[in-house]
Structure 1
Amino acid sequence: MQPDPEKLAKLQAALEAYEAGESPALFDRAAEEARAPIRKRALGLLDQRARSRSELRTRLIDAEFEAELVDDVLDGLEEAGLIDDRAFATEWVRQRSARRGKSSRALDLELRDKGVAAEVRADALEQISEDTEETIARGVAEKKARAIKAVPQDRTEYDKYLRRIVGVLARRGFSSGMSLSLAKNALDTRIEELD
């Protein structure tokens, strides 16, 4: 690979100017001093947990930092690989679906609220298949059903237990059809265990 002649000429000119004592400012101290507190706050936020670029930008502007300087700092952090919306979205989906039992619909909404682009969200959500989502929903339904300690005495009590299980699934973003089917299955299985 041949070196770029234009870059070589610029480097040579800068070296000659430096040796002659006419060094151009290679470092803008005032700009760097203005960016330092923003960078410190951003790194502190990233130290707590990974964040999207939009989420960081919002937090920093809410802390009353100048928007243009915030964008400069975030550009630098992105170039350094400390902010990566694709990696953030992929990890968010992986963790929240496994640990919290969230549906892909709920995760999509969470990522949208964090300012992650639609294309990036779609790519991250590809890791959850329909089978995986149903398995997660089944686990949530079974866990809620295990909280039931007595066989329902009548249809009213049965419906109350069923609504509670469906409600848990609905709050996690699962479809109503899937939620009702899995809730009935989990509740009936639990009643059989208690008999």
Structure 2
Amino acid sequence: MSFVDDRIPGDDALDPVEVRKAAAESLVRKLRTRSLSVSEARQVLRTHGLDGTQIDDVIDDFLRRRYLDDHELAQMLVAAGVDRKGQGRVAISRSLSQRGIPRDVIAAALDELPDDDAERALEFARTKARSLSRLDHDTALRRLLGQLARRGYGGSVATNAAKTALNEASFGTKSSGVRFVESD
């Protein structure tokens, strides 16, 4: 069986319609596995060699079909950051920004978030304080502050949460357990 190549010998130019179609199909495959921001979708399309106008056309088509929606993606990522990862506003904002979501969309998504960073930080600190019980108070405080900072809680929110959680976990006081007593 032989295949006939209907291109003219020496004509290596690809059909722009076929290139656009292949790029759009590639983008759909990516969207099946992970939601993408408009910025991330543009990067995917650039790898297929589309020019700016072609990229804009595909993006406009995907926006019209609601395959892409930065507002919806931002809301999903905020919810995941709060519910699953226990992140604060700073960490959530940073992750949205890294995904190429525009600042105004990030601000709108964070505005919908209840102002309970202190409560979420304390809840996270309480769960971690138990695992730091074998350490002295200063070391535990330093480690807990680091963990809170990596989740986007900074300054007084992190300090208050860490100190409260460690105090609740009885750091700095004699805990029950084995005591060694000197005998004369």
Matches of residues 18-97 of structure 1 in structure 2 within 5 Å? 30-61=15-46, 63-68=47-52, 69-97=54-82
User: Which segment is superposed worse, 106-115 or 90-99?
Assistant: 106-115
Distance verdict in 2 for CA 1:79–1:176, change over 3 Å: same
Q: 1:31 Cα deviation (Å)? A: 4.1
Instruction: Give me the whole-angstrom Cα distance separating, in 2, the residues matched to 1:109 and 1:99.
Output: 16
Q: 1:64 Cα deviation (Å)? A: 4.2
Would you say the 8 A contact 1:77–1:83 is kept in 2? yes
Instruction: Give me the whole-angstrom Cα distance separating, in 1, the residues matched to 2:167 and 2:83.
Output: 25
Distance verdict in 2 for CA 1:44–1:162, change over 3 Å: same
Q: 1:160 Cα deviation (Å)? A: 0.6
Q: Give runs of ≥4 in structure 1 deviating > 6 Å.
A: none
Matched, 1:137 2:115: no
Distance verdict in 2 for CA 1:76–1:41, change over 3 Å: same
TM-score (norm 2): 0.78
Instruction: Give me the whole-angstrom Cα distance separating, in 1, the residues matched to 2:49 and 2:126.
Output: 48
Matched, 1:189 2:174: no
Structure 1 unaligned residues grouped into runs of 5+: 1-29
Aligned to 1:179: 158
Would you say the 8 A contact 2:23–2:48 is kept in 1? no
Q: 1:67 Cα deviation (Å)? A: 3.4
Aligned to 2:91: 106
Aligned to 2:3: none
Aligned AA (1:171): R
Instruction: Give me the whole-angstrom Cα distance separating, in 2, the residues matched to 1:65 and 1:97.
Output: 38
Residues paired across the two proteins, number: 159
Instruction: Give me the whole-angstrom Cα distance separating, in 2, the residues matched to 1:104 and 1:128.
Output: 9
Matched, 1:170 2:152: no
Aligned AA (1:166): L
Would you say the 8 A contact 1:101–1:172 is kept in 2? yes
Identity %: 29
Would you say the 8 A contact 1:39–1:73 is kept in 2? yes
Structure 2 unaligned residues grouped into runs of 5+: 1-14, 177-184
Would you say the 8 A contact 2:20–2:50 is kept in 1? no
Instruction: Give me the whole-angstrom Cα distance separating, in 2, the residues matched to 1:172 and 1:56.
Output: 27
TM-score (norm 1): 0.74
Deviations 1:70-115 (A, max 9, x none): 3321211111110011111111111111111111122112212222
TM-align CA RMSD: 1.9
